[in-house]
Structure 1
């Protein structure tokens, strides 16, 4: 059941990358228990948030990626130019959302714990940027208040929300956690293998 505290947050799952470093479509890569990478990230997000939207490339087929028909999909026509373009397209498509903040989720971080997502969302507000803090390191996802959305809509290149977050440290709320999934991604096959050894299913 979705926690009531997450209703003020819309989740944006960025899954429009070209997987160049991975060498194949990492969204379909399998975890040790056979679950697909993207499918696992989406399932985790939907367990924590009432409103989850997935950003894809224009030519992606959601069904082929294991995305359920009832999942809202946002198309990024400039996804090939970098994550910043995908994030900007995703945020621009949220104009109809009443949410106070957006959780920016990456499609290669399947080890995030649902409880962590709920805890982060509980601290969200329109004026704040919420980040998990694990072992002294800031991790993902980042939840960005609506006040900062116009800045996200202007992003380009491959830096994502990093510049917006870095420019507003006074707005940060860092939430301590023990969730190593906030620091583990599967950017390359080697990274996936290492993460699976460190955090088996």
Structure 2
């Protein structure tokens, strides 16, 4: 009896948006430390543990400092000189950097959401295909991670203006958007201020990440 051929799973990239200056916080959020690790390091580790490769990290504010101080664990750093124009420019830069990769899709993570877990990433990776659009769901709210199939990258980039990110594109493709429940394994709260960080340190989000 012959052996069934085996095929390696198609690669799913991770795109970590970590370029912002953290105006409300007072410094770039990529360099904020939570539970002994910089937020950008946590995001890279989450993406890798979630099954993503390659991992691209888009840097902007204090990019040189992030490169020096953060252990990016083999993630590819991409500089976004237009980071001050908003998150959309970082999304465009990251998708452009993935253009030559073999990835069929990209999982988008924001650096200021330390409650996103590998389990949440894996749920989206499991659905990945070149035509897939998916977002994590938290009750009646949608959040990150977001999965963008390769066939959508050009359209997402065309609409990623200012801080809108992929929202406009996802809205236009609502009928094909998959919402993946993740509230039981992750928390998509973002860290915008020192008060938010205090809450994270008290364990409301760290427990979800490390538990």
- Shorter-chain TM-score tier: 0.7 to 0.9
1:194: Cα distance to partner?
2.8
Q: What 5-or-longer segments of structure 1 have no aligned partner?
A: none
Classify 1:156/1:177 alpha carbon distance in 2 versus 1 (closer, same or farther; 3 Å). closer
Aligned residues: 197
Give the equivalent residue in structure 2 for 1:199.
205
Q: Can you list the C-alpha shifts for 1:139-176, whole angstroms capped at 9, x where unaligned?
A: 20110111211122222211111111111111211112
Name the TM-score, length of structure 2 as normaliser.
Answer: 0.84
Tell me the SS of whatever aligns to 2:112.
coil
Match of 1:109 among 107, 113, 116: 113
Match of 1:176 among 154, 157, 181: 181
Match of 2:53 among 50, 54, 61: 50
Classify 1:195/1:166 alpha carbon distance in 2 versus 1 (closer, same or farther; 3 Å). farther
Give the equivalent residue in structure 2 for 1:74.
78
- What pairs up with 1:119-138 in 2 under 5 angstroms? 119-138=123-142
Name the TM-score, length of structure 1 as normaliser.
Answer: 0.88
Match of 2:162 among 157, 160, 166: 157
In structure 2, distance between residues paired with 1:8 and 1:178: 25
In structure 2, distance between residues paired with 1:98 and 1:200: 33
- What pairs up with 1:7-46 in 2 under 5 angstroms? 7-31=10-34, 33-46=35-48
Is the contact made by 1:102 and 1:143 (CA closer than 8 Å) also made in structure 2?
A: yes
Cα RMSD, aligned residues only: 2.2
Give the equivalent residue in structure 2 for 1:64.
68
Give the equivalent residue in structure 1 for 2:104.
100
Q: What 5-or-longer segments of structure 2 have no aligned partner?
A: 1-6
In structure 1, distance between residues paired with 2:192 and 2:181: 24
